[in-house]
Amino acid sequence: MIGINARVMREGRRGPLRHPFRDFAKVTHRNPSLTLQRRIVDFSAERSYEATARALREHYRIEVPRYAIDKATGRIARQAKHFNSRAPGSIKPAETLISEVDGSMLPIVGFREEAGGEGAQRPRDRRKLRTCHWKEMRVSTVRVPGSVETWYGVALGEPMTVGCMMAEICRFKGMDEATHIHAVGDGAPWIAEQYERQFGTRCKFHLDLYHVCERLAGAAGSTPMSPAQRKDWLEARKQSLRRGEGRAVIGELRKLPAAPHGTREDAPVEEAIGYLEKRLHQLDYAEAIRGNLPIGSGEVESAHRHILQKRLKIPGAWWRLERAEEMAQLRAMRANQRWNEFWDQKCA
């Protein structure tokens, strides 16, 4: 290996990099070896690029600039996205699968088009055109009842795209024509709609019990009951839901004091009644409990933290839309325990 120290210059403040020696000598650098790429991505998938550079320096005494870490990580993340779309080896057909899905907001940075005619000069400092917003990334989990091996999928896009991802990872875990899908999610209409569209009558969707209790707590909190009375009332309603008595819970809500005259229609009590009446068929918790199946979406809520938020929502991090999805796919691949399989195929 030959090392060369050469000057690197930038054209203007934000212009392209220039390599005088490389251009004069007509030589180019090689890409990092697969071993070095694996070390780089192994660190950068869990920490910032600056922290990755420090870790490589500390553990391997290698100086890798930030832009090289960014480039290597982006290349592997794009390959991971394609790798995730291919099913693993043969999976035993599953009688029942537990599926959950939810969304998490990620910080996204973009650049707006500058106003002006066709011949308008583009500013060198693109920071003046930068826009920041939040975009929802959807995470889905699926596992076999009684198993701790969970399969994760991520998708960025319209509900139909997310629904196709949900169906795809269910097939990866052994779904066939006879598989029953036990689904849990919050009250977002698109979630129940996609489960029905993708799985039809084989799927039974259950509204997350925690979200239902939030509505009930809001309704109880708007009444003159004391804190102790509200706690007892809420606990009694929760036990009724667990017994499958959804209509009885709505009846108890109707007994609460009505909203004062002139109050909006979305007052807590009226809002909770309307929320549950539209989703009464999604409150069959008794059947799920008898089958030892979950009635809460805690698994996908946890996936938000250890797949998306742990890396993509670190302080000060803003992502380009494409890179955010690629990094999420990379982390999903690692969570699915396919990291070694991915590199074995690259080295084959």
CATH code, domain with 181: 3.30.420.10
Q: Same domain, yes or no, for 179 and 278? A: no
Residues 277 and 151 in one domain: no
Q: Are residues 23 and 160 in the same domain?
A: no
Distance CA 280, CA 65 (A): 57
State whether 242 and 300 are in the same domain: no
Helix or strand holding residue 102 (H, E): strand 96-111
Predicted pLDDT at 21: 79
Tell me how long the chain is.
348
Shared domain for 219 and 278, answered yes or no, is yes
241 within a domain of the structure (yes/no)? yes
Which residue intervals of 91-204 are DSSP H helices? 159-172, 189-199
- Could you give the CA distance from residue 272 to residue 268 in angstroms, rounded to a whole number? 6
pLDDT of the chain, 348 residues: tens digit per residue: 466 777 888 888 778 888 887 777 766 666 678 999 999 999 999 999 999 999 999 999 999 999 999 999 999 999 999 999 988 876 889 999 999 999 999 999 988 875 555 555 655 666 778 899 999 999 999 999 999 999 999 999 899 999 999 999 999 999 999 999 999 999 999 999 999 999 999 999 999 999 999 999 999 988 888 999 999 999 999 999 999 999 999 999 999 876 555 454 458 899 999 999 999 999 999 999 999 999 999 999 999 999 999 999 998 889 999 999 999 999 999 999 999 999 999 887
The reply to whether 342 falls in a domain is no
Total number of domains constituting the chain: 3
Q: Which candidate, 284, 275, 296, places its Cα nearest to that of 204?
A: 284
Pick from 109, 68, 147, 17: which is nearest to 322 by CA?
Answer: 109
Amino acid symbol at 280: L
Domain co-membership, 104 together with 174: yes
Same domain membership, residue 193 and residue 309: yes
Residues 105 and 196 in one domain: yes
Supply φ then ψ for residue 9, to 5 degrees: -120, 155
Residue 260 in any domain: the answer is yes
- Choose among 169, 107, 152: nearest CA to 323: 107
Within this chain, do residues 138 and 253 fall inside the same structural domain, yes or no? no
Angstrom distance (rounded) from CA 62 to CA 32 = 12
pLDDT of residue 2: 61
Mark whether 69 and 106 lie in a shared domain: no
Give the H/E segment covering residue 105: strand 96-111
How far is CA 297 from each of CA 136, 146, 207, 247, 301, rounded to the nearest angstrom?
18, 16, 9, 22, 6
Q: Return d(Cα 277, Cα 282) in angstroms, integer.
A: 10
Query: Rounded CA gap, 242 and 255, in Å?
Result: 20
Q: Does residue 282 lie in a domain region?
A: yes
**74 and 183 together in one domain:** no
Q: What single letter denotes the amino acid at residue 227?
A: P
Taking the C-alpha atoms of residue 245 and residue 251, their distance in angstroms, rounded to an integer, is 10
* Domain final position from 268, 286, 304: 286
DSSP state letter for 306: I
184 plus 267 within the same structural domain? no
Alpha-helix runs per DSSP H in the chain: 20-25, 34-44, 49-60, 66-84, 159-172, 189-199, 209-221, 227-242, 246-255, 268-278, 285-290, 298-303, 310-312, 321-335, 339-347
Residue 117 lies in a domain: no
Q: DSSP states of 236-279 as a string?
A: HHHHHHHTT-HHHHHHHHHHSPPPPTT--TT-HHHHHHHHHHHT
- Residue 257 lies inside a defined structural domain of this protein: yes
Task: State residue 262's pLDDT score.
Answer: 47
**Range of 253's domain?**
210-286
Provide the pLDDT for residue 119.
Answer: 55
The answer to whether 252 and 276 are in contact (CB under 8 A) is no
- Cβ atoms of 281 and 287 closer than 8 Å: no
pLDDT at 151: 96
